[in-house]
Structure 1
Amino acid sequence: MQTQTLLCFSKILVVCVSLCTVTQLSSLHFHSHRREVHVRSFISNLSIPKMANVSVAAEWQLLYNRYYRKPELYPMKWKHVDLARNKVAAAPFGGPLAVIRDDSKIVQLHAESALRKLRLFSSSGHLLADTVWRHPGGRLVGMSWTDDQTLICVVQDGTVYRYDIHANLIEPNLSLGKECFEHNVADCAFWGNGLVCITEAYQLFCIADFKNPTAVKLADPGIDDMPHCMAVIEPQYTVSGNVEVLLGVDDAVVLIVEEDGVQRIGEDLLRGPLQKMVVSRDGKWLASFTHDGKLLVTTSDLTGVIIERECESALPPEQLAWCGMDAVLLYWDDMLLMMGPDGDPVHYLYDEPIILIPECDGVRILSNTSMEFLQRVPDSTVSIFTIGSTSPAALLYDALDHFDRRSAKADENLRLIRSSLPEAVEACVDATGHEFDISRQRTLLRAASYGQAFCSNFQRDRIQEMCKILRVLNAVRSPEIGIPLSIQQYKLLTPSVLIGRLINAHQHLLALRISEYLGMNQEVVIMHWACSKITASLTIPDAALLEILLDKLKLCKGISYAAVAAHADKNGRRKLAALLVEHEPRSSKQVPLLLSIGEEDIALMKATECGDTDLVYLVLFHIWQKRQPLEFFATIQVRPLARDLFVTYGRCYKHEFLKDYFLSTGQLQDVAFLLWKESWELGKNPMASKGSPLHGPRIKLVEKAQSLFAETKEHMFESKAAEEHAKLLRIQHELEVTTKQAIFVDSSLSDTIRTCIVLGNHRAAMRVKTEFKVSEKRWYWLKVFALATIKDWVALEKFSKEKKPPIGYRPFVEACIEADEKGEAIKYIPKLADPRERAESYARIGMAKEAADAASQAKDGELLGRLKLTFAQNAAASTLFDTLRDRLSFQGAS
């Protein structure tokens, strides 16, 4: 037992140290404010929490069967702020406060200026920023904060002004439309990222999302008087997905106005007009104040009544708000009334005006001097601190007290709750998360750690996780930061959003510490700090500011120096941007920024060094547009990769520009090749196949290419080929003109001669032969097959007799056989000098005997074998070939 006790003591010590580091993280001290009241002491035979428990529970108020507490979060730091004389907008999740003098009230100015100021405060009353209100357009109708903490201000003429948390006006200003300008805005209602307004002509207009700020007119409600009250059901809770506006009108009815129509509800339920109404956070319930002084809680579609209770005043309350989902608050001049489903209401008296700020788990109450938080006491806290509680958690908490006083009752308490010890430890941990007082947090965590030492099946990291959350919460709750988040709000908001709000408020150091502590990416924080530092340090020299920035930027590996450099360039510090971008390791981010700040040569060098062709092309196109051609050519000439990529692109798309480049560098043969390619591309034009004048430019292109080739000895072949190509194109063009048939251009020399013979234009064919010095053998081959193609057998025979053909008679035989004219082929087969050729030719036209005779003259046994296979279906022919082969074999043997 002594060993367990020592172990328990060591764990408690660890918890105390962990919570001490909370104050080290935030470097802040909390103000604890509690009212001490006299209560009856209750002591039984069982060990129960003593005076500390009694003191805690004495501050609670019982509403039917649920406890509520109202701890003070901050005494307000501001001075001379009277809520009765000002309009106030408070952001949820412990967000900032916007305060501006109410121009609809006649107020006495003491020492303040006659100029109206818009002032922004933290929840602790610390001034964040202020600005003079200089906007015309009539009185300020309403203002509210969006989810991203942008302040929305709506003035009478329908203009919407937006401010950031530093009171900087966000341009451009928005307008609710012409009708709002003409008829004036009378009232407005806000939700997360949208607003609805009603004009003095009783028409409704809506901006559903300020990220896409388009004003839309809703359906005409068809009313002749201003409604008594207005509420909004957010789009995320409606069936249609569009905002629904509830209007309380003179009749015993509520109008639901949407973009597509108007619906009347509550006719069977209401007995008179509603004076005030507010929709619950989840859009399911509607709390309203009736004309006869009752609080009415119904479903949002007014089909069922949940609560209907008499209030203590028939006058409508100044404010009506939900406190979580269990109670409704009504505020009159000096009294705040909290009502639930049953039981007597709870009264809170105030001698100063207050503002109710609904949160997801309660209501913040802002007065001239303090900020309080009214919430339902969590069940875990109730189980520990309720007067007379004998729950396991209460006994565990009391056991710690006895342990600290070295009393044996500590062991007795643990024995009593041994079976329920895990639940008791969990209750202490959970109650810790809901506490705002650091000393009470520490005590509860010590109790949980004490119980955990004797509990083997409890999650060991649960206490450590709660310590992490509390360190963050205590840091942001400090008066200097002024974000009084509860643990439920923190979980709903998420740490990443909290860090985003801290950096927007320029609390970069705290945001960085929290990010590091929670293991989150610190890049966002450091990037925002760097950009803010550049904006605010206009007088610091570039070199000095660079050292400051690099000292922090190097803390985060992989951070985008290019993004910071871009911000510097945007703020007119181009030299600083150039220095920063040198530290960017990723070329994909470095190169575009170098181009934007005018460092094209460095950008080209970086792009070529990394070998990314896309980046090289990006730089090339950028320089191409900005520089003169000769300057551009000189730039790329010294960089082989850039030059080669430009040439590749130019060959496909920019021939003229590429020709200028080749000419500037003396590469005449490359210009010639481009010209030759252009002539072929021009030939693909459909109009060029109609004997059109397009052939003229083609020929000129080829001739120009020929002249360029001729200037270099290494390209004499290309020069000669281009010369002959131009000559052939010219002849083909003339043939198309004379024959009126577009069949010559772009055909080969052989095809041109063949086509002329087929058309019977032998003179033209002879001219082409002579012009291009076609050899006799080639001429004979072309003419033989051309005559066979048109089956001019007479001309073919005549041609064969003009002189001994230089190609022999085999082409004549081939041409006749291919034309399936065996009779014509027989005329030329006997003229074949080689008996093997005669034998094969006879075999092709099916003359077996003649083939056999010719084969026997050749004395070729292998040929006889092949011929036998040719006539395999002819038995007599096969026998003949066998006989001849046997005879040939016998003669060879003898």
Structure 2
Amino acid sequence: MANVSVAAEWQLVYNRYYRKPELYQMRWKHIDLSRNKVACAPFGGPIAVIRDDSKIVQLYAESALRKLRIFNSAGVLISETVWKNPGGRLIGMSWSEDQTLICVVQDGTVYRYNIHAELIEPNASMGKECFEENVVECVFWGNGVVCVTEANRYFCMADFATMKVCELARPEVEELPHCVAVIEPKYTMTGSVEVLIGTDAGILMLDEDGVQKVDDTLSQKMAVSPNGNFVACFTHDGRLVVNNTNFSSPVIDESCESALPPEQIAWCGMDSVLLYWNDMLVMVAPQAEPVQYFYDEPLVLIPECDGVRILSNSSMEFLQRVPASTEQIFAIGSTSPAALLHDALDHFDRRSAKADENLRLIRASLPKAVEACIDAAGHEFDISRQRTLLRAASYGQAFCSNFQRDRIQEMCKTLRVLNAARDPEIGIPLSIQQYKSLTASVLIGRLINANCHLLALRISEYLGMNQEVVIMHWACSKITASLAIPDVTLLEILLDKLKLCKGISYAAVAAHADKSGRRKLAAMLVEHEPRSSKQVPLLLSIGEEDTALVKATESGDTDLVYLVIFHIWQKRPALEFFGMIQTRSLACDLFTVYARCYKHEFLKDFFLSTGQLQEVAFLLWKESWELGKNPMASNGSALHGPRIKRIEKAHSLFSETKEHTFESKAAEEHAKLLRIQHELEVSTKQAIFVDSSISDTIRTCIVLGNHRAAMKVKTEFKVSEKRWYWLKVFALATKRDWDALERFSKEKRPPIGYRPFVEACVDADEKGEALKYIPKLVDPRERAEAYARIGMAKEAADAASQAKDGELLGRLKLTFAQNAAASSIFDTLRDRLSFQGVS
């Protein structure tokens, strides 16, 4: 009998059954859909209601003040606000995919509201043309809208996220269309929206590129199928024609009783089309007689992926094709395995032996019967029927050896979630197919947005999903809604819930508290954030620079420390900034490294403020070298003045510390040398002195013939006599002033001996000049080697024999290896030396 009572509610349409269960008795009061504009979101979403300003207001019936009210699908009020948006009459409103209410008014302004009836800024516009010409109609789809102006121009906003508007091609007809329908971009070849319009010339298709006529049908109402493949048209002569989008092969061509166009036309899944007149709902399907449903109150049809929700003043129904599994079990006279299994449970409950007989009949098909019962349970809205079907599945599963044991458990989980969402207070009447299309995470997101945090949290926990999103949203909402609660009290409330989720971002909640004007609460919250990378930037944004610097240095993350340093550097006075970083070695070191490269003056101020005079001196000295690299610092350039002053200042600073005596003396002499070199460049007009050494300066002076200047440098820097002689010998040789060199050798006995004179002459390839000095060499070994260097073998041999050094003779022989006569001389001498040694 149970099967009979269930199937009795069904309607047979050709070979398919349809059912229309009531989901809710509407909880609202005094709502007349015929007097209001209504927008219903798909997937069991909210219902927006606002009085239609084109209808006459009944005296004393309601307030003249228009209100936008948002209800859930059970008619429970979620929010309301006074409608005070200018721009003329409200032309159309619809819900976007993210459940934002889009309202388009006469001048083309687009207003957006969230589910709490709060206006989302900024407003958008359909453009100057819509403002000037007035919008007369708009057609919505998932996330876009097409508007028609009084001048019969078409403007498209393809995505409410970007709010970009484009104009479609203009049809060559003056009169406004009888009807407009949209093929969504995801179903078109071009990936752009295509608009179908019904005119006196037939059906035209518009897009951005052009206009084309697609059919001669004179259509008064159109609706595109959910998959974008078919178009249902109600013609001027009262026929419903369903065709593919190419208009090449009609699927339905059914004459209706009325030539008046229906108020609404909607697809019921993919199997049938619904037409609604003011008291009658007609279902038309292929190869079937139209089915009529009569109503004594106005309706709103809400297409879903698997049916149509029917909203009236008093109830919410769901018209859908009966699922195959449900039909197997509950169809009158069904003998399917699933029906027998369901019947077996009934017998089992009544302790009838017929239960076992049924099971034996379907033993081979038992797994399929169990699966059908589970599937049918999923499609049911009635909880007691869900329970019965799942019990039947469980009863049959006990006799199956190879059935997946977790299927019933999965379905139980799904149904518990769906039943919780369907509760009238929540009012989201999802079917199982809609739930699978929507996904659990999106459902949780919608519950959160509706401030149903507890249910969202329980579902997340039940399904093993991340609860962080729910708790975060709750915490932010709690802060916004609890302005009267003291910060300390609210902190305890928040922490009690936030600790439920490991790894939750306390910094994000603190950021919201800061935006809400509760900086003290934000500072207390951010203390609980374990991740420095999240904590430090927020501390800076709420003005807690000291704490941010402590946290950044404790983390050891140099990037974070630099972030804090640069932030404080910009915000605080220099001395205050220096004081903050001075006591923190990491921050101080990082600042110093950066400032050495880019901010010398600021770094000098820092070192002076902290008493590090020697560091300032080193910086000054470095700056002087940097100035020296400037290509302009030549030919007696004025840049040498600042260089010298910097070094003198460095000398002054070094002299104030006992530990830097060497640096002080070096800086003093460096400045003195630079000054002399600068003067020499000015007098000689040659940029060859500055930044050379003392020795090079002396040598250059001598080469230039400026002996007085060379002597001045020698005296000024206390150059030793030996060094002076070396420098002058090679300088005179460089300028090849051999007479001066000879005179210089005779001034007095050279403290360095005559060897440098010989080497200078030999290096200059002046053998004759070298012979002046070789005889004066005291050491016979030096004489022998000197003679050998200028190729005088006999003299070298004589000097070597005086030295009585066999090893020297051997080396000299190698020098003259190409000269056989010379080699024999050295051999003779070595033999003689060896003989003398033996004797």
Compute the TM-score of the two structures, normalised by the length of structure 2.
0.94
1:240 aligns with 2:190: yes
Root-mean-square deviation (CA, aligned residues, Å) is 2.5
| Aligned residue number for residue 376 of structure 1 | 321
1:69 aligns with 2:19: yes
Equivalent-residue separation in structure 1 for 2:628 and 2:492 (angstroms): 64
| Aligned residue number for residue 8 of structure 2 | 58
Of 173, 197, 212, 1:264 maps to 212
With over 3 angstroms needed to count, the CA separation of the structure-2 counterparts of 1:645 and 1:330, relative to structure 1, is same
Matches within 5 A, 1:97-136: 97-136=47-86
* Contact 2:229–2:244, Cα closer than 8 Å, also in 1: yes
* Contact 1:274–1:291, Cα closer than 8 Å, also in 2: yes
User: 686-695 vs 674-683, which deviates more?
Assistant: 686-695
Q: Shift of residue 205 of structure 1? A: 2.0
Equivalent-residue separation in structure 1 for 2:824 and 2:237 (angstroms): 131
* Contact 1:246–1:257, Cα closer than 8 Å, also in 2: no
Q: Shift of residue 400 of structure 1? A: 2.2
1:525-574 Cα offsets, whole Å, 9 max, x none, are 11111111111111111221111111111111121222212211221222
Of 326, 337, 340, 1:392 maps to 337
3-state secondary structure, aligned to 1:253: strand
Q: Shift of residue 826 of structure 1? A: 5.5
Number of residue pairs matched?
839
Equivalent-residue separation in structure 2 for 1:656 and 1:721 (angstroms): 23
3-state secondary structure, aligned to 1:363: strand
Equivalent-residue separation in structure 1 for 2:236 and 2:691 (angstroms): 97
| Aligned residue number for residue 371 of structure 2 | 426
1:217-273 Cα offsets, whole Å, 9 max, x none, are 333334322112222222223333322222222212313222xx213031xxx3333
Of 532, 538, 551, 1:606 maps to 551
| Aligned residue number for residue 358 of structure 2 | 413
Matches within 5 A, 1:343-362: 343-362=288-307
What is the one-letter code of the residue matched to 1:431?
A: A
User: 328-337 vs 620-629, which deviates more?
Assistant: 620-629
Of 165, 174, 178, 1:224 maps to 174
| Aligned residue number for residue 29 of structure 1 | none
3-state secondary structure, aligned to 1:93: coil
Q: Shift of residue 793 of structure 1? A: 4.9
Q: Shift of residue 788 of structure 1? A: 4.4
| Aligned residue number for residue 112 of structure 2 | 162
1:514 aligns with 2:464: no
What is the one-letter code of the residue matched to 1:172?
A: P
Report sequence identity in percent.
80
| Aligned residue number for residue 728 of structure 1 | 673
3-state secondary structure, aligned to 1:124: coil
* Contact 2:170–2:211, Cα closer than 8 Å, also in 1: no
With over 3 angstroms needed to count, the CA separation of the structure-2 counterparts of 1:831 and 1:542, relative to structure 1, is same
1:314 aligns with 2:259: yes
* Contact 2:169–2:206, Cα closer than 8 Å, also in 1: no
1:608-643 Cα offsets, whole Å, 9 max, x none, are 222222222222222233332222323333333333
Equivalent-residue separation in structure 2 for 1:845 and 1:299 (angstroms): 111
1:623 aligns with 2:623: no
Equivalent-residue separation in structure 2 for 1:644 and 1:825 (angstroms): 61
Q: Shift of residue 166 of structure 1? A: 0.6
Of 180, 194, 197, 2:130 maps to 180
Equivalent-residue separation in structure 2 for 1:562 and 1:302 (angstroms): 58
Equivalent-residue separation in structure 1 for 2:771 and 2:274 (angstroms): 121
Q: Shift of residue 781 of structure 1? A: 3.1
Of 702, 718, 733, 1:773 maps to 718
Q: Shift of residue 74 of structure 1? A: 0.8
Equivalent-residue separation in structure 2 for 1:395 and 1:875 (angstroms): 128
1:85 aligns with 2:85: no
| Aligned residue number for residue 738 of structure 1 | 683
| Aligned residue number for residue 212 of structure 1 | 162
What is the one-letter code of the residue matched to 1:263?
A: V
User: 514-523 vs 675-684, which deviates more?
Assistant: 675-684
1:360-388 Cα offsets, whole Å, 9 max, x none, are 11111111111111112222222222222
Of 421, 434, 439, 1:489 maps to 434
Equivalent-residue separation in structure 2 for 1:58 and 1:215 (angstroms): 51
What is the one-letter code of the residue matched to 2:177?
A: P
With over 3 angstroms needed to count, the CA separation of the structure-2 counterparts of 1:336 and 1:881, relative to structure 1, is farther
What is the one-letter code of the residue matched to 2:149?
A: T
* Contact 2:169–2:211, Cα closer than 8 Å, also in 1: no
With over 3 angstroms needed to count, the CA separation of the structure-2 counterparts of 1:198 and 1:877, relative to structure 1, is farther
Equivalent-residue separation in structure 2 for 1:413 and 1:876 (angstroms): 133
Compute the TM-score of the two structures, normalised by the length of structure 1.
0.89
3-state secondary structure, aligned to 2:162: coil
User: 806-815 vs 745-754, which deviates more?
Assistant: 806-815
What is the one-letter code of the residue matched to 1:138?
A: G
With over 3 angstroms needed to count, the CA separation of the structure-2 counterparts of 1:482 and 1:756, relative to structure 1, is same
With over 3 angstroms needed to count, the CA separation of the structure-2 counterparts of 1:315 and 1:724, relative to structure 1, is same
Equivalent-residue separation in structure 1 for 2:815 and 2:232 (angstroms): 107
| Aligned residue number for residue 32 of structure 1 | none
What is the one-letter code of the residue matched to 1:639?
A: R
Q: Shift of residue 819 of structure 1? A: 4.9
| Aligned residue number for residue 144 of structure 1 | 94
3-state secondary structure, aligned to 2:514: helix
Q: Shift of residue 843 of structure 1? A: 5.3
User: 150-159 vs 725-734, which deviates more?
Assistant: 725-734
Equivalent-residue separation in structure 1 for 2:274 and 2:786 (angstroms): 116
3-state secondary structure, aligned to 2:120: strand
1:751-810 Cα offsets, whole Å, 9 max, x none, are 333333444444433333333222233333334444444555555455444444333344
| Aligned residue number for residue 31 of structure 1 | none
Equivalent-residue separation in structure 1 for 2:790 and 2:390 (angstroms): 111
Q: Shift of residue 442 of structure 1? A: 1.4
| Aligned residue number for residue 226 of structure 2 | 281
Q: Shift of residue 137 of structure 1? A: 1.2
3-state secondary structure, aligned to 1:305: coil
User: 327-336 vs 811-820, which deviates more?
Assistant: 811-820
What is the one-letter code of the residue matched to 1:121?
A: F
1:374-411 Cα offsets, whole Å, 9 max, x none, are 11222222222222222222222222223323333333
Equivalent-residue separation in structure 2 for 1:711 and 1:700 (angstroms): 17
User: 128-137 vs 846-855, which deviates more?
Assistant: 846-855
* Contact 1:61–1:69, Cα closer than 8 Å, also in 2: yes
With over 3 angstroms needed to count, the CA separation of the structure-2 counterparts of 1:419 and 1:705, relative to structure 1, is same
Equivalent-residue separation in structure 1 for 2:376 and 2:717 (angstroms): 106
Q: Shift of residue 849 of structure 1? A: 5.6
User: 340-349 vs 467-476, which deviates more?
Assistant: 340-349
User: 858-867 vs 217-226, which deviates more?
Assistant: 858-867
| Aligned residue number for residue 649 of structure 2 | 704
Q: Shift of residue 75 of structure 1? A: 0.9
* Contact 1:247–1:255, Cα closer than 8 Å, also in 2: yes
| Aligned residue number for residue 95 of structure 1 | 45
Equivalent-residue separation in structure 1 for 2:382 and 2:750 (angstroms): 120
Q: Shift of residue 118 of structure 1? A: 0.2
User: 494-503 vs 188-197, which deviates more?
Assistant: 188-197
| Aligned residue number for residue 555 of structure 1 | 500
| Aligned residue number for residue 441 of structure 1 | 386
* Contact 1:248–1:255, Cα closer than 8 Å, also in 2: no
Equivalent-residue separation in structure 2 for 1:431 and 1:865 (angstroms): 115
More relative contact order, 1 or 2 (CA 8 Å, 6+ apart): 1
With over 3 angstroms needed to count, the CA separation of the structure-2 counterparts of 1:792 and 1:367, relative to structure 1, is farther
User: 794-803 vs 529-538, which deviates more?
Assistant: 794-803
3-state secondary structure, aligned to 1:540: coil
| Aligned residue number for residue 253 of structure 1 | 203
With over 3 angstroms needed to count, the CA separation of the structure-2 counterparts of 1:318 and 1:868, relative to structure 1, is farther
- The gaps in structure 2 that reach 5 residues or longer are none
User: 137-146 vs 690-699, which deviates more?
Assistant: 690-699
* Contact 1:265–1:302, Cα closer than 8 Å, also in 2: no
What is the one-letter code of the residue matched to 2:167?
A: K
Equivalent-residue separation in structure 1 for 2:766 and 2:245 (angstroms): 100
